[in-house]
Structure 1
Amino acid sequence: MEGAIVSLTEGAVRGLLRKLGGILAQESWPVQRVHGEVQYIKDELESMNAFLRNLSTSSEGAAAGHDDQVRVWMKQVREIAYDAEDCIDVFVRRSRLGVAGAGVLSTGNEGLIMASLRRLVRLLAGTLGDRSVAVQLQELKARSRDAGERRTRYGVSLATAALRAGGSDPQRRESGRLDPRLHALFTEEAQLVAIDGPRDELVGWLMEEEPRLRVLAVVGFGGLGKTTLARMVCGSPRVKGADFQCSPLVIVSQTFSIRALFQHMLRELIQGPRKAMAAVAGGGDRVADNALQGMERWETAVLASKLREYLQDKRYIVILDDIWSSSAWESIKCAFPDNTKGSRIIVTTRNEDVANTCCCRPQDRIYKIQRLSDAASRELFFKRIFGMEDDGAPEDDELKRVSDSILKKCGGLPLAIVSIGSLLASKPNRSKEEWQKVCDNLGSELETNPTLEGTKQVLTLSYNELPYHLKACFLYLSIFPENHVIKRGPLVRMWIAEGFVTQRHGLSMEQVGERYFDEFVSRSMVHPVRIDWNGKVRSCRVHDIMLEVIVSKSLEENFASFFCDNGSELVSHDKIRRLSIHGSSYSAQRTSNSVAHVRTFRMSPSIDKIPFFFAQLRLLRVLDMQGSRCMSNKSLDCICRFFQLKYLSLRNTSVSILPRLIGNLNHLETLDIRETLIKMLPSSAANLNCLKHLLAGHKVQLTRTASVKFSRPSSGLEMSHGVVRNMANLQSLVHIEIKKYPSVFQEIGLLQNVRKLSVLFYGIEVNWRPFLELLNKLSGSVRSLSIDIFEAQGNSSSSSLEMLSSLVSPPIFITGFSLTGKLDSLPPWIASLRNVSKLTLRNSQLHADAIQVFGGLQNLLCLKLYHKSYADDRLVFPQGKFARVKLLIVDNLINLEKLHFEEGSVPNLERLTLSFLREPKDGISGLNNLLKLKEIEFFGNIISSVVSKVVSCVKGHPNYPRVVGDKWNIVTVYN
């Protein structure tokens, strides 16, 4: 994990260098007073950063890692960078306040002038004269100088670091370290559980009649048993009995050399068998050695050519274990000819993108290895503890309960189960207390216990292989507690606020951050929890054992600190940089550590009291109080002094009023007030010029998959005149209500960066015309649009959306479109929405002709027909329509008597979600025409007679879809 140290330090320095460059570019006289100190610090850190990048390039991933001296030096550099950034932020803040104070002098009011003058003097004295800035900069200058000298004084040099990392001596490096994956090559089959099914499935794939070269990729999280499964496949009687002429196993390390790999394969394929033959013939090793004499001097192309030549006339089977990247596969595959003899390559990898690259042809296959079930986990666990003769659970109920807690942490990971089982088996006393101690202190056990060393190494391999820009993002997941569901959107916005996301040409910061998230999913480093209708992972969890590893690493590098549910503090440095409070027993935690430098603070929802030091968190970038019931209006007042705050989440709290001076948060980019009681923003919010995401409203989820949800009435944020006018960076404006001020539409129309817009208003002419002008102005920028029209009392037609037909520039680039309100006929431009992938309708009262139009939308993946969205009594999905739709929701259509799917309609439908107020007279038909259907889901008030008929209908379905009922998130499976 030493690459993480380089990554974290280099990232901290890089962020500071950008800030220092901006400071030095200013010509104001306060800046000139500290120009020399700032320039010196910048020059020193630039040199250190260059060293760090060279160190990362030369030795990242080296087996032995950096020695303690290098690690300590890098930690010192990182702390200097953090402290310097904090100091500069305070300096800039005070300088701006000083300039603002000076500007008041021209008001002409003598009393105000004198008061402002006194304030300005105090500010300038604080900016330039006191210890907090001027002296601190001098101290930082001295620390920078000392760090540079210390690197030379103690021999921390690039050459030395690389040498100590083992980079110049591969043989020595490998001899001093055991590969943690080797245990999988020699595990006895009798010790395994739940291996038969996956093994037989893969053997079946291998032995299919297919003369072309076939690649089988086994993909999954580290420690799931990919190597063991591949070995069991090749060792099965069917494969052994086939006429494969060579079966080597090759381990591909993270830092593999293609030349060394090819040399190793030639030895295994050619030299090994010839040595065996020579030994039988009594010729010794000399004949075998002559075959590859001088191989160490051969070029890579020659080695590849020799391999191809040897394999060309043979039916071979090869295992390539732990392929880490697509480029590694592209380099290796050239050595394997497709000789149409039925040869096979088995690849194991943790990365789905790599698996897809390896298996890009029709004959190739991908197998996603799964975690062990609870029953299989328990069997393996007790086998390991009590031996092969006694694989039953202990009779002691308390021991059973502790073992359940341990297995929950293992999360179906065979490697973790075996390692922890071996540790418990080595304990002389198999008592509840002994087992509970291991369970409670698993993080420290992973650090110090040799029995668990292999588990930690396997898990950290995934981490080590990450590019340097992703390592800080992954360590950031340590701030969330066990079993916490981490949502994609908020996480990406936190990363951006912390400065972990690097700008890329042509992409927004949010798009880059989402790619980071997808990388972790692709590499199997997080477990997807909710997968959207378009295949996008919306939320995830970190495996408990992996979480223990990254928490340990966070503490080691002072990346994050924790106050735990047992009242203990996990703090590794006198200055806390990121702080997370877990558990329910925290009460006025007293800490002697400095919290003045905390950049991220989050708190468990179960905490019943705001910590005493909350007001001291002046340098916060991220404040995540989601779900914190102890958060009140009064406790929120101090946040207006958190001048660096970029991310503020008060979601699902009891806060009803934002602080009057919320506009002082000049850097705020995300304001998440969903599921709160906040109805309006203070007038000072007009100063939030950097705001990108304003998220309000309250959506209720009606199913476990969150595919069915509705907005609570009157939960929107009422907008006043002048509040959003200056928010030029706004990208998301979600669930706002416009009741009194139609001029707000004109203000929103000026925000050309808006991508997501959700608006609620009354359907009266005074609002309609400004709204249409708004849509015309934003037609080229908005990508997600939600229009919700209130019903005016006594006027049933006032909510009509007919005026949408008069749009001059319709939003034809939108990908998500939601309409709530009466719409007797569709606007003609709906048919031209070529990019729309999700369409949601409610109360629109449409007819069969609208279904024809929707069916022609070529990129539509999700169609949601909610209450009163369809007025006819027959809903027929016609042949040849809805070609790409995967999710269809039909919800309580009050007139519906028949739901029918014609042959060839909705050919890619995977999930059908239904709810009925009463049983349709003519029923549901044509389900057998939905050949890719995987699940039929009923929700709400489930009508048992409808469910029974559907279950009976799909019994002969070729895809065996399951039928489930979700009644207020209590799920029942009916078949």
Structure 2
Amino acid sequence: MVGIDEPRDALVSWLMENDTQLCMLAIVGFGGLGKTTLARMGCESPMVKGADFHCCPLFIVSQTFNIRTLFQHMIRELIQRQHKAMAIARGKHGHFTDENLERTDKREVAVLAEKLRRYLQDKRYIIALDDIWTISAWESIKCALPYNKMGSRVIITTRNEDVAKICCSHPHDWIYKIPRLSDATSRELFYKRIFGSADKLPNDELEEVSNCILKKCGGLPLAILSIGSLLASKTNTTKQEWQKVCDNLGSELETNHTLEGAKQVLTLSYDDLPYHLRACLLGPLVRRWIAEGFVSQRHGLSMEQIAESYFEEFVARSLVQPVRIDWNGKVRTCRVHDIMLEVIVSKSLEENFASFLCEGSTLVSHDKIRQLSIHSTHKLMQKTRASVSHVRSFTMSASVEEVPFFFPQLRLLRVLDMQGCSYLDMNVLECICNVFQLKYLSLRKTNISKLPPKLGNLKHLEALDIRATLVKKLPGANKLSCIKHMLVGHKMHLTRTASVKYLKPCSGLEIAPLVIKNMAVLQSLSHIVVKEQSLVLREISMLQKLRKLNVLFRNVEVNWKAFVNSLGKLASSLRSLSIHILDEKEHSSPLDILASVDSPPLLISNFGLTGKLKNLPPWISSLQSVSRLTLRNTGLHAEAIKVLADLPNLLCLKFYHKSYTDDCIIFPHGKYAKLSILVINDLENINKVRFEEGAAPNLERLTLSFLREPKDGIFGLNNLKKLKEMEFFGKIIPSVVNKVVACVKTHPNPPRVIGDEWNRVTEYA
């Protein structure tokens, strides 16, 4: 056992608390993390065994449990075994017979549950239920567990976070998300399994390949132990032998008995998925799922909403690991465990779902390849002779040096993802425009600057992603009548958390008049440049399904009235709105005209303004749903931003360069009730930042950048009771950082203090 002492001690401490309520603990996490081991160690602790609990068993529920069988087993373990032992002690050997035990088999579930409940009613008990997969399983079990006032405890283990939340619905309950092993602990467990001792280290060559293997194991104890056992069984302890295991882990999972247990545990998570989610796990993410037909329509919900619910379920089931979580709790980037990835690849091939071509391999081909992913060099691809005429989805990694020779044969594609590829020319783009059934096209982060006029051939196209490219116009776009998501623009992330972004001035798409009006189902239009085409703005008002709109204005005077009129007509549909003024005159405040919008977009959750303002529009106070607000170049004073302090659901607030002009910014007592993330970026006149007691009670991350040291300092950090991280970015001013580090030493919950200087991260405290 490694790395388990601290959670075990915390569990024992929880079990021994004096609270007389029935308390629930859910240990939740990915398969193979050690949930069962932790629950068992807590129940079997000498301290717990020596306490006045009447029973302390652990019951396996499992993925395919039968409630009658489970209750019968619990009765045998809790009641009949104890009575039989007492009878034997008294010399009454015939008191309980096999006939008594068999009689329980014939009872109804409700009778069995009542028998358990009566037995436990007057007892202080601990019950551990291992491996609960569904909410319905828990609902069927809990009826047998009385909520007495004896200080009883119930422990469950689950892979599903939704199950954990239902089980632990009271304030005195506890959800423990079991973490992965640290690098040091993983190494200790690995070497103990192979060499019998963590002190016996391999030579430098083995250490190098060990690091590679442990990276794939990703802190998963089951994977570390299984692969360690496999290596321990090898007669040759050489770098070549270990490297072979590392490189061929997928095939080892398929064929090696030592790894069979690990594969079974991980495959259970896949097998438990409902049918409509299996293809989504094997495939890519939300917009692609829709394009590939993996998402089933439901009354009252858009396809995007349904697809997002699929993704949330993967996270809840611990199949997908969030990497970056946004200000509103939404997962922005994610990954799957490396070992789980091997299972997914295995299942994809097994079910003829996908084929892959990687470095050092040849194309694994079936009669009809439907999904094809290329992660190899052109030399290997030239050798491939498998039929690709049936491919519906094609992904080409950014590492591929050349478009494969068979690309023109991919005429039946629905999905094409070439993100990051730097070898695209006009011939390739012309070829793409002949794929008439295409629904999803990503050319993001490629070297392209123009698209061919034949783009209009893609009449079924639903999603076009050309972000971080040099494309400025869409020839033939008036024929894209099925387009739902048009994604353009180039944002630079200035911090590793992506909490600070900068839109390049050259960003945006110029759209000609009479184009937008043909895109009746458009939901996302980001970013569009408007110069002198007021007709385009009038056409936007016809997009009654538009949910996201990012507009960059040039020549504001010509277009502004048309835009205000359009905004009023989109009030019921818009959920995200960003307005950028690119060519302000020195003394003008063009955004002030927003105050005249007849029907403001009161349902938006994301709102961004770039441009001068004397005052925020009066309807800002009515934005009950807004959770993110971004201001840049607005030049507002303290009095003007008071309204923001009372927005009921504001989670993320960003003051960028020139957004605030006063020399002191104060966060008042009792205000900004839900604010979780605050960014203050290079405010020119700022000399003082102050948080009064009771201000921003839920603030967790404070991100700061200063042009110079605020001469009056940063005050009230100790009043931010939930502060977890202070992040300085851009040009770091050491004197500011040093003062903050000294201050947070007395913080009730000392936050982490880091510096992110152009993505070079330094930890200060």
Superposition pairs of residues 681-760 of structure 1, within 5 angstroms:
681-682=474-475, 684-760=476-552
2:756 match: secondary structure: strand
Superposition pairs of residues 877-892 of structure 1, within 5 angstroms:
877-892=667-682
2:717 maps to 1:927: yes
2:745 match: secondary structure: helix
Cα distance between partner residues in 2 of 1:418 and 1:928: 44
1:504 match: secondary structure: coil
Cα distance between partner residues in 2 of 1:435 and 1:765: 69
Who is 1:39 aligned against? none
Cα distance between partner residues in 2 of 1:586 and 1:706: 37
- Deviation string 1:576-595 (CA, Å, 9 cap, x unpaired) is 11000124575543322211
Contact 2:624 2:649 in 1 (8 A): yes
Q: Which amino acid aligns with 1:600?
A: S
Who is 1:667 aligned against? 460
Cα distance between partner residues in 2 of 1:603 and 1:285: 73
Who is 2:469 aligned against? 676
Question: Residue 770 of structure 1: which of 562, 569, 580 is its match?
Answer: 562
Cα distance between partner residues in 2 of 1:748 and 1:503: 27
Contact 2:608 2:630 in 1 (8 A): yes
- Deviation string 1:675-731 (CA, Å, 9 cap, x unpaired) is 00101110x110000000000000000111111001001111112112212000000
Who is 2:263 aligned against? 456
Superposition pairs of residues 224-239 of structure 1, within 5 angstroms:
224-239=33-48
Contact 2:378 2:402 in 1 (8 A): no
Cα distance between partner residues in 2 of 1:574 and 1:288: 61
Question: Residue 866 of structure 1: which of 638, 656, 662 is its match?
Answer: 656
Question: Residue 410 of structure 2: which of 604, 611, 617 is its match?
Answer: 617
Who is 1:110 aligned against? none
Superposition pairs of residues 200-279 of structure 1, within 5 angstroms:
200-279=9-88
Contact 1:910 1:934 in 2 (8 A): yes
**Residue ranges of structure 1 left out of the alignment (5+ in a row):** 1-191, 478-490
- Deviation string 1:866-905 (CA, Å, 9 cap, x unpaired) is 0000011110111121111100100000000111011111
2:443 maps to 1:657: no
Question: Residue 472 of structure 1: which of 251, 267, 279 is its match?
Answer: 279
- Name the CA shift for 1:584/1:230 in 2 (closer, same or farther; >3 Å): farther
Displacement of 1:574 in angstroms is: 2.3
Cα distance between partner residues in 1 of 2:378 and 2:265: 34
2:345 maps to 1:536: no
Contact 1:754 1:782 in 2 (8 A): yes
1:956 match: secondary structure: coil
Question: Residue 172 of structure 2: which of 342, 346, 363 is its match?
Answer: 363
2:721 match: secondary structure: coil
Cα distance between partner residues in 1 of 2:96 and 2:381: 77
Who is 1:911 aligned against? 701
Q: Which amino acid aligns with 2:184?
A: A
1:499 match: secondary structure: coil
Cα distance between partner residues in 1 of 2:98 and 2:750: 58
Superposition pairs of residues 27-66 of structure 1, within 5 angstroms:
none
Using structure 2 for the length normalisation, give the TM-score: 0.98
Cα distance between partner residues in 1 of 2:222 and 2:402: 40
Q: Which amino acid aligns with 2:310?
A: Y
- Deviation string 1:627-657 (CA, Å, 9 cap, x unpaired) is 0111223311111111111000000000111
Cα distance between partner residues in 1 of 2:619 and 2:27: 47
2:512 match: secondary structure: coil
Who is 2:104 aligned against? 295
1:933 match: secondary structure: coil
- Name the CA shift for 1:587/1:722 in 2 (closer, same or farther; >3 Å): farther
Who is 1:936 aligned against? 726
Cα distance between partner residues in 1 of 2:406 and 2:427: 15
2:735 match: secondary structure: helix
Who is 2:201 aligned against? 394
Contact 2:631 2:655 in 1 (8 A): yes
Who is 2:599 aligned against? 809
**Identity rate of aligned residues, in percent?**
66
Superposition pairs of residues 828-847 of structure 1, within 5 angstroms:
828-847=618-637
Q: Which amino acid aligns with 2:145?
A: F
2:317 maps to 1:523: yes
2:210 maps to 1:403: yes
Cα distance between partner residues in 2 of 1:931 and 1:628: 46
Who is 2:115 aligned against? 306
Cα distance between partner residues in 2 of 1:906 and 1:969: 28
Cα distance between partner residues in 1 of 2:211 and 2:594: 58
Q: Which amino acid aligns with 1:594?
A: S
Who is 2:688 aligned against? 898
Cα distance between partner residues in 1 of 2:87 and 2:98: 10
Who is 2:439 aligned against? 646
Using structure 1 for the length normalisation, give the TM-score: 0.77
Cα distance between partner residues in 1 of 2:160 and 2:746: 37
Contact 1:763 1:798 in 2 (8 A): no
Cα distance between partner residues in 2 of 1:362 and 1:624: 46
Contact 1:588 1:609 in 2 (8 A): no
2:348 maps to 1:554: yes
Cα distance between partner residues in 2 of 1:529 and 1:965: 20
Displacement of 1:740 in angstroms is: 3.2
Who is 2:304 aligned against? 510
Cα distance between partner residues in 2 of 1:493 and 1:759: 22
Displacement of 1:241 in angstroms is: 1.2
1:287 match: secondary structure: coil
Cα distance between partner residues in 2 of 1:860 and 1:395: 53
Question: Could you list the runs of 4 or more consecutive aligned residues of structure 1 that deviate by over 6 angstroms after TM superposition?
Answer: none
- Deviation string 1:41-95 (CA, Å, 9 cap, x unpaired) is xxxxxxxxxxxxxxxxxxxxxxxxxxxxxxxxxxxxxxxxxxxxxxxxxxxxxxx
Displacement of 1:466 in angstroms is: 1.2
Displacement of 1:799 in angstroms is: 5.5
1:735 match: secondary structure: strand
Who is 2:150 aligned against? 341
Please say which of residues 729-738 and 229-238 is displaced more in the overlay: 229-238
1:208 match: secondary structure: coil
Displacement of 1:261 in angstroms is: 1.0
Cα distance between partner residues in 2 of 1:395 and 1:234: 37
- Deviation string 1:409-452 (CA, Å, 9 cap, x unpaired) is 11100001001111111111111111111111111111111111
- Deviation string 1:238-267 (CA, Å, 9 cap, x unpaired) is 111111111221111212111111111111
Contact 2:532 2:558 in 1 (8 A): no
Who is 1:595 aligned against? 388
Who is 1:575 aligned against? 368
1:294 match: secondary structure: helix
2:401 maps to 1:608: yes
Cα distance between partner residues in 2 of 1:969 and 1:288: 72
Displacement of 1:569 in angstroms is: 2.0
Who is 1:783 aligned against? 575
2:638 maps to 1:848: yes
Q: Which amino acid aligns with 1:456?
A: K
2:165 match: secondary structure: helix
Cα distance between partner residues in 2 of 1:633 and 1:708: 35
Contact 1:583 1:606 in 2 (8 A): yes
Cα distance between partner residues in 2 of 1:423 and 1:585: 35
Cα distance between partner residues in 1 of 2:280 and 2:91: 60
Cα distance between partner residues in 1 of 2:530 and 2:226: 60
Question: Residue 374 of structure 1: which of 155, 172, 183 is its match?
Answer: 183
Contact 1:805 1:829 in 2 (8 A): yes
1:661 match: secondary structure: helix
Contact 1:764 1:799 in 2 (8 A): no
